[in-house]
Structure 1
Amino acid sequence: MNRIPFNTRLLLCGLFVFISWGCGTSEESQQLPTSPPETTEQTPLPESGFETRTDTIFTEKLGKRADTSRESRSREIRFVVQIGAFKDPRNASRVQNAARERYKLPVVNDYHAGLSLYQIRIGFFETRESANAFRQQMIREFPKAYKDAWVVQLKR
């Protein structure tokens, strides 16, 4: 008959006692909490990878003009300078933030679903000439960044 060495028997007995001790029940493990503990820490939301901000423009109506039909038509047409169009929202956000830091004008990140592009546009100008003058200023100040910028007409 094979004899099990003393060290092995001692190890097996210790293992049996350890497993039995861990599987036992106690009053603490049988009691269920009546209500979940209160926590003040909230789980942070995952970051989206780009930043979105809202720009607000305040206007003030000064008075009525005689020709309101021409006024309403002129209010519907505005011009902006488009400084880029990107598939990657992170690139769009980077360009948008850089333009905000350089110029104190509204910079809009306009998503075009049909093209799947984020279009970055700056300023709101009443005439194409004023928008183009600003575009030329941008090119003079930052030629590498805005050499491909163009004027876009918006009808609202």
Structure 2
Amino acid sequence: MNSPSYEEMKKNHEEMNKEVCGAYRNYFYVRNRNVPLTPEAMDALECSIQKHMAKFKVEFESNDEKIHITLPKFEDRIACVGHLRNARELQTALDVTKISTFFLIDKARCYESHIQDMKRILLQTQNRHQKCGGLEADIKNQKEILSIFEVALSEMLESPQG
């Protein structure tokens, strides 16, 4: 295998950045059973979501027992910058709408989603590496990130509260 040209490397990294920009956008929440959600409170919550969370896709699931929030895609040169910006905006929106009063983050489902995203990105990177090479460091980093998510999920599920 020949070593990749600068143009190939640049193109591969741009494609990987696009994939990362599309990943880690899904967040999942479950009802907080300790706080009653009356029909009136639900109506107020829905109005607040429409007003303060228009940027995000918010879906109620399982008879309003769960929420799935999808962050918008971003086009930052450095993927983590866009993700951090979106995550900060999501946290602000959650505070303003009071979603976190009635719903708790479903960490296991979030980790599972992130693991799925990372496996997809890693496979695509490995396929690109087979075609043109030069992505060893990226593959190593992606495997490490995947491992971090998998260990965190495993530890969470093994803990007494998990």
Task: Please indicate the TM-score interval, normalised by the length of the shorter structure.
Answer: 0.3 to 0.5
Q: TM-score, normalised by structure 2?
A: 0.33
| Bigger relative contact order, structure 1 or 2 (CA pairs below 8 A, ≥6 apart) | 2
Q: TM-score, normalised by structure 1?
A: 0.33
**Structure showing greater Rg:** 1
Greater share of helix residues, 1 or 2?
A: 2
Greater share of strand residues, 1 or 2?
A: 1
